[in-house]
């Protein structure tokens, strides 16, 4: 009996070409990313998680195309994107919102559709709430909203975060850590708490580490200052953002997923989104926080079904 080619294999064959590397100029340097799929159609903007990079979509993107194009952008200080200049703090969520807006303006998109994992999903949530008339759809992977804390905790962490930022910013060249490749891979895997498979970790390392010819060791490409976090939002603010979302929404929650997640609060956000969103589709699948990378086939059917009800704005792509 001859082998029957599956849809998955067809997609992989169609997407055998490598994605195009993209650089977008910004005042402090450039944003970087990978464009998968058709170049003449407006893509979904794909955004990675905190300290990750565009490689997080390397296993998912080939399965989604040719259904859609994906522009997997890297946020400032992540992957191959430029770091912020010295003295510029990373506010993560608010910086990310500005970056999305810069990309929209750069390409002159009238509307945008966003798929995001973790931090990237939080940014999709915030953008859809901030620009409801200019957002077609969002897909959030194992996240419902930005992490929110009670007011006292937000105040408590502020000073520590600032001091951590200044410590990292003032590291001398000799203090910057270098590692053999295998040790660096192990550090990254441990940092993700078992969420990544070895194969996924190696994919992430392609843009997350660089070789130093002077020492013959590797160092992380991401800005170490990203480790100093602040500017979390409170629960009532998160719920207000959720109430402003009017576009079509797909939320895929991994089980057990993120170890930092509170499921009751997760569903409270979804309930609020449901009040005004055109569509809210929600699914739970078995997997870790990086299930979209470790086992992309498990989520692709849900995304494809969602795309059937979503028409992406089709227009010529131009820039300033």
Residues 6+ apart with CB under 8 A from 30: 23, 24, 81, 82
Residue 277 tokens, joined: 């969103």
Tell me if residue 123 falls in helix, strand or coil. helix
Give phi and psi for 243, each to the nearest 5. -70, -15
Tokens 């929600």 belong to which residue? 282
What Å distances lie between residue 160 and 10, 225, 227, CA to CA?
51, 13, 11
Which has the closest alpha carbon to 317: 20, 6, 4, 9?
Answer: 20
Burial label, 1 (beta-carbon count in 10 A; 0-12, 13-18, 19+) = exposed
Tell me if residue 61 falls in helix, strand or coil. helix
228 flagged as catalytic: no
Annotated active-site residue in 32, 82, 113, 118: 118
Angle in degrees, 0-180, between the axes of helices 119-130 and 93-107, rounded to the nearest 10: 60
What Å distances lie between residue 217 and 183, 190, 225, 237, CA to CA?
10, 19, 21, 44
Angle in degrees, 0-180, between the axes of helices 198-208 and 181-191, rounded to the nearest 10: 110
Q: How many CB atoms lie within 10 A of CB 273?
A: 28
Per-residue burial over 209-231, b = 16 or more CB atoms within 10 Å of its CB, e = otherwise: beeeeeeebbbbbbbbbbbbbbb
In angstroms, the CA 250 to CA 115 distance is 9
Tokens 């969002």 belong to which residue? 138
Q: How many CB atoms lie within 10 A of CB 174?
A: 5
Catalytic residues: 118
């Amino acid at each position: 009996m001859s082998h029957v080619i599956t849809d998955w294999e067809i997609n992989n064959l169609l997407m055998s070409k490598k994605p195009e590397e993209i650089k977008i100029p910004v005042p402090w340097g450039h944003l970087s990313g990978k464009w998968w799929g058709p170049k003449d159609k407006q893509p979904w903007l794909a955004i990675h998680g905190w300290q990750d990079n565009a490689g997080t979509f390397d296993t998912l993107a080939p399965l989604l195309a040719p259904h859609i194009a994906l522009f997997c952008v890297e946020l400032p200080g992540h992957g191959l994107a430029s770091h912020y200049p010295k003295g510029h703090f990373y506010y993560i969520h608010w910086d990310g919102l500005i970056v999305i807006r810069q990309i929209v303006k750069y390409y002159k998109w009238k509307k945008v559709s966003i798929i995001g994992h973790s931090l990237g999903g939080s940014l999709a949530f915030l953008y859809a709430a901030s620009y409801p008339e200019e957002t077609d759809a969002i897909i959030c992977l194992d996240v419902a909203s930005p992490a929110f804390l009670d007011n006292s905790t937000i105040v408590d962490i502020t000073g520590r975060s600032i001091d951590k930022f200044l410590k990292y910013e003032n590291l001398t060249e000799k203090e910057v850590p270098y590692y053999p490749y295998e040790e660096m891979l192990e550090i990254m895997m441990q940092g993700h708490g078992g969420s990544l498979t070895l194969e996924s970790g190696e994919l992430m390392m392609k843009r997350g580490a660089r070789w130093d010819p002077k020492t013959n060791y590797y160092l992380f490409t991401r800005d170490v200052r990203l480790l100093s976090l602040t500017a979390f939002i409170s629960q009532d603010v998160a719920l207000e953002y959720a109430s402003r979302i009017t576009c079509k929404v797909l939320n895929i929650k991994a089980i057990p997923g993120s170890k930092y997640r509170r499921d009751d609060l997760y569903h409270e956000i979804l309930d609020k989104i449901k009040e005004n969103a055109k569509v809210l589709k929600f699914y739970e699948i078995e997997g870790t926080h990086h299930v979209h990378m470790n086992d992309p086939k498990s989520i692709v059917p849900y995304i494809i079904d969602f795309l059937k009800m979503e028409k992406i704005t089709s227009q010529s792509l131009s820039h300033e």
